[in-house]
Amino acid sequence: MPDFLRRYSWSFLSPLPALLSAVMAAGSPAFMHAQASSTSEDAHQAFYKEKIQPILSSHCYDCHSADAGAAAGLRVDDRAALLKGGKSGPAIVPGKPEESLLLERVLTTDVKQRMPKGDDPLPAKEIEQLKAWIADGAAWSEATPSSTSAPEPSTPPAKEIKASLTRVPYPRPATPAQLAFFEKKVRPILVNRCYNCHSAAFKEAGGLRVDVGISIFAGGKDGAVIIPGHPEESLLIQRVKSSDPKKRMPQESNEALPADEIATLEAWIKDGAAWPDETEKLPPTPERLRRIYPQLRAEWWSWQPLAHPVAPVIAGDTWSSGNIDRFILANLQAKKLAPVPDADPAVLLRRVSYDLTGLPPTPAEIRAFQKDHSPQAYAALVDRLLASPQFGERWGRNWLDVARYAESSGPSRNMPYPNAWRYRDYVIDAYNRDVPFNRFLTEQIAGDLLPAATPADHDRLLIATGYLALGPKDVNQRFKARFKMDIVDDQIDTVTRSTMALTVSCARCHDHKFDPIPTTDYYALAGIFTSTEDDAGLTSKMGGSSLEYYDPKHLGYLSDAAHAPVIASDIRDKAKAERDAAKKQLDEAQAAIDKEKKEGTHATPTPEQKQRLADLQRNFVRLRENYALLGDLGELGYGIHSVRDGEVADTSVRIRGVEERHGPTVPRGFLTVLPIPGTTQIPAGHSGRLELAEWITNPANPLTTRVYVNRAWEHLFGTGLVSTVDNFGSSGDKPANPALLDYLSQDFMANGWSTKKLVREIVLSHAYRLGSAVPPGYQDVDPADRFIWRHNPRRLETEEIRDSILASAGDLNLAHPSGSSSMALRMIEIRDDGPVVSSVLDAADRNRYRSVYLPLLRDETPRTLSAFDPVSQTLVSGKREVTTVPSQALFMLNSPFVREQSLLLAEELLRAHGSDAKRIRIAYQRVLSTSPSEEDVRRVQDFLAAYERNAAPAIGRQTVQAHLQTVAGSSAPHSLTEGIVREDGLTQDDAIDNEQADTAKPDTAKPGSAKEAAWAAFIQALYGSAAFQFVR
pLDDT average per 10 residues of sequence, the chain (1032 residues): 34 34 38 42 77 83 69 82 82 86 78 66 78 86 44 32 50 85 92 86 78 84 88 93 88 83 94 88 82 90 97 95 98 96 97 98 94 96 98 98 96 91 98 99 98 97 98 91 95 98 96 94 98 96 83 95 91 95 94 88 86 91 91 93 96 91 93 87 94 97 99 98 97 97 99 99 98 95 95 97 98 95 91 86 93 96 95 93 94 96 96 90 96 96 93 48 40 63 60 42 71 95 97 96
Burial (Cβ within 10 Å: 0-12, 13-18, ≥19) of residue 485 = buried
What pLDDT shows up at residue 681?
82
Residue 686 CA: distances (Å) to CA of 465, 527, 829:
17, 11, 34
Burial state string for 136-172 with b = 16 or more CB within 10 A and e = fewer than 16: bebbbbeebeebbeeeeeebeebbebeeeeebbebbb
pLDDT of residue 112: 61
Cα 654 from chain centre: 22
Contact present, 35 and 4 (Cβ < 8 Å):
yes
Helix axis angle, 363-371 to 375-387, nearest 10°? 160
pLDDT of residue 27: 39
pLDDT at 129: 86
- Compute the distance between CA of residue 216 and CA of residue 200 in angstroms, rounded to an integer: 12
Q: What pLDDT shows up at residue 97?
A: 84
In this prediction, residue 994 carries a pLDDT of: 39
3-state secondary structure of 437: helix
CA-nearest of 495, 469, 474, 490 to 402 is 495
- Structure letter (DSSP) for residue 439: H
pLDDT score recorded for residue 349: 98
- CB contact set of 135 (below 8 Å; sequence gap of 6+): 7, 8, 34, 95, 96, 97
Task: Bin 1007: left if φ > 0, else alpha if -120 < ψ < 50, else beta.
Answer: beta
Q: Please report the pLDDT score of residue 86 as a whole number.
A: 80
The residues that bridge with 857 in the sheet, in sequence order, are 860
pTM, 2 dp: 0.77
Residue 925 and residue 1027 in contact, taking contact as beta carbons nearer than 8 Å: no
Neighbours of 329 (CB within 10 A): 24
The rounded distance, in Å, linking the Cα atoms of 196 and 969 is 56
Instruction: Report in angstroms the alpha-carbon separations of 797 from 581, 622, 762.
Output: 52, 39, 21
Count CB-CB contacts under 10 A for residue 308.
8
Q: Which helix (H) or strand (E) holds 736?
A: none
Report how many helices (DSSP H) and strands (DSSP E) the chain contains, helices first: 41, 10
Rounded Cα distance, 525 and 532, in Å: 11
pLDDT at 17: 37
Res 596: pLDDT: 87
Helix, strand or coil for residue 1015? helix
The Cα 209–Cα 135 span in angstroms is 48
pLDDT score, position 127: 82
